[in-house]
Structure 1
Amino acid sequence: QVTLPDLRIALLSGDWVEPDSGERLRTLAPSAQAFALGGATEAAIWSTIWPMSSPIPEGCHTVPYGFPLRNQRFRVVDALGNDTPDWVPGELWIGGLGVARGYCADARLTALHFNGDYPWRWYRTGDRGRYRPDGVLEFLGRIDSQVKLQGHRIELGEIEATLLRHPQVRHAVAVVQGDGATAGLHAFVQMDAAEEEINALLSALHHELRITLPGYAIPGAISPVTTWPLTPSGKIDRRQLALSPPHSTSPLPEKISELQHVVAALWQQLVEGPPPSGTDSFFRAGGNSLLGTKLVAQVCERFSINLTIKEFFSDATLSG
């Protein structure tokens, strides 16, 4: 095993720095200190720092952005341009000496992402974050990770954060696969788990999603991955994940109840295909609004209940 006894400092960066990076580094370089850094190219690359030797604050499920570097400033801003209170997410704005003047020969893009004049010039990162009461800054993902499915606005970052709460999940990515009425959510996770543990862990992750998120925000499948497709800049290629799921995709093992068997039979009278599992979406299975209306009517008649179309659309899965 290669060792680096003379290495003193390691600077780690990226959207997410893995919590055990510092510990793994110490096995190779016992004398090295590791620091996680965050920021943007438009603000001199790095603007925040977090010493990996520090314990991760309670409630943080990933390495935090930490604190602004010297001569750098950070704001967490709402849609009206006001600073948000502690714990409330908003867009991350970077200020300070490192902020660029703008984009070369692109006044429109400059006006969109930069505002103010030095020394109060700010760069709008397009990232989401929040301040904790102790002044620690948390990175919460991209603002443009919000998607709309079947009329519901869904934060992909919220799905990923929920998956990352499990101690055996190293990294998680949620994407939308498919188009139109057949579009659905799919999550990918990199886990510290033996092969024989994977199915049980996937089931546990799905259970956690169901008790934390509304039904329409729960991925139809969670797939374990060992490596990620990367963009030329070294970031996870979400587009490739959305277009071409890896062969390691594994369905979630989930037993369905006797009641769900009855609903599944009504479902299959309207939509061709294999019997649905508890997490399958009616729309992704080939259903549409008209067929959904018919299913609601049949369920109401079969069970003598008053189920509304709105309730159906809020969670159009078998278990929902």
Structure 2
Amino acid sequence: VATTEYLCEHREWKSSPPIGRPEFSRLHYVVDKEFNLVPVGVPGELLIGGDEGLSRGYLNLPELTDEKFVPDPFLGEGRVYRTGDLVRWTPDLQIDFIGRLDNQVKLRGLRIELGEIESGLLTHPKVRMALVLLREDDGEKQLVGYYTVLGDTSPTVAELRDHLGRTMPEYMVPTAWVELEEFPLTPARKINRAALPAPVGAGGAVDSYIAPVTPTEEKVVEVFGTVLARERVGTGASFFELGGNSLQAMRAVSRLNKHFKVKVNVRLLYGGATVGALATAIDELVAKAGKAATRA
């Protein structure tokens, strides 16, 4: 059963074509989690309603029927079907399919909706397309963010992490990133997930290597290298850019606190502080602790 249509006439797409406009007598809403209509270009869930096209529900599955077939939140009568599709309106009012909202995974005991992360990435002004996978490379599971760029300037890993961190918890922010020119597609013009490349290193692309200079930088590099199992850590990269996760961050801070005998705030790592910036903050803490001991 089709509910939208699109005329593919002498046009080229950098990705899949849109799925079109609603057919006659069909209602299509794009909404957020609270069932508010979202503006053009903003990702949301597709709801389908109208006088024709909806079934009575799922056969012998009343709970699923109640979950997916809900009262129309805008007309006050009739029902709409929650498709679970993540879509957005294009400027010419076509519906652009992005992915699925119910693509749920479990990482370190926490349930994560990959579609929610993808939706967040798509609101970044430099991101054109995005997809997030839970990959297991070298025996370790991690979230990997794949994206293509909108425009000529690529966002940095720090920018992407900071953008997601404003609206979602740290455990939902990918620890590895891969920028693509185009997503690989299947013959059916869907994203070929099996053909997506593995990230380079533990954290994907990171800043160019800068060697440590001060004794504090050397110690921070040593701790990060041990916790993250990385042979080379530069002072220009942050902990999470190097592929760290929240549990590893706590271990790293614990080791730094024990060595320097100060209390390093783990929020410095979450805030994207580079190795160099973290070393400077530790030096300041050590200096303050020394002054306090002298006064005592």
Any idea what SS the aligned residue of 1:212 has? helix
Any idea what SS the aligned residue of 1:282 has? coil
The residue aligned with 2:47 is 93
Q: Does 1:46 align with 2:8?
A: no
1:143 aligned to 93, 97, 101, which one? Answer: 101
Separation in 2, partners of 1:191, 1:147: 26
Cα distance change of structure 1 residues 315 and 124 upon mapping to structure 2, 3 Å threshold: same
The one-letter amino acid of 1:266's match is V
The one-letter amino acid of 1:252's match is A
Kindly report which structure 2 residues correspond to 1:227-242, keeping only aligned pairs within 5 A, or say none: 228=184, 230=186, 234-238=189-193, 240=194
The residue aligned with 2:36 is 84
The residue aligned with 1:282 is 244
The residue aligned with 1:75 is 29
Deviation at 1:71, TM superposition (A): 0.6
Q: Does 1:206 align with 2:157?
A: yes
Separation in 2, partners of 1:219, 1:126: 26
Q: Does 1:221 align with 2:177?
A: yes
Give CA-to-partner distance per residue, 1:253-289, whole Å, 9 cap, x none: 5135547654221123445442246312234xxxx94
The residue aligned with 1:120 is 78
Give aligned-pair identity as a percent: 23
CA RMSD, 1 decimal: 5.2
Separation in 2, partners of 1:306, 1:50: 62
Separation in 2, partners of 1:306, 1:280: 22
Unmatched runs of 5 consecutive residues or more in structure 1: 1-43, 54-61, 194-199
2:207 aligned to 246, 254, 273, which one? Answer: 254
Q: Does 1:263 align with 2:214?
A: no
Any idea what SS the aligned residue of 2:144 has? strand
The one-letter amino acid of 1:165's match is K
Separation in 1, partners of 2:95, 2:182: 29
Contact 1:75-1:83 within 8 A present in 2 as well: no
Cα distance change of structure 1 residues 294 and 218 upon mapping to structure 2, 3 Å threshold: closer
Cα distance change of structure 1 residues 135 and 112 upon mapping to structure 2, 3 Å threshold: same
Unmatched runs of 5 consecutive residues or more in structure 2: 11-15, 279-296
Separation in 1, partners of 2:199, 2:224: 28
TM-score by length of 1: 0.53
Contact 1:142-1:157 within 8 A present in 2 as well: no
Any idea what SS the aligned residue of 1:266 has? helix
Contact 1:260-1:318 within 8 A present in 2 as well: no
Cα distance change of structure 1 residues 256 and 263 upon mapping to structure 2, 3 Å threshold: farther
Any idea what SS the aligned residue of 1:178 has? strand
- Count, aligned residues: 246
TM-score by length of 2: 0.56
Separation in 2, partners of 1:293, 1:83: 37
Deviation at 1:94, TM superposition (A): 0.3
1:156 aligned to 117, 121, 131, which one? Answer: 117
Separation in 1, partners of 2:263, 2:7: 54
Contact 2:45-2:87 within 8 A present in 1 as well: yes
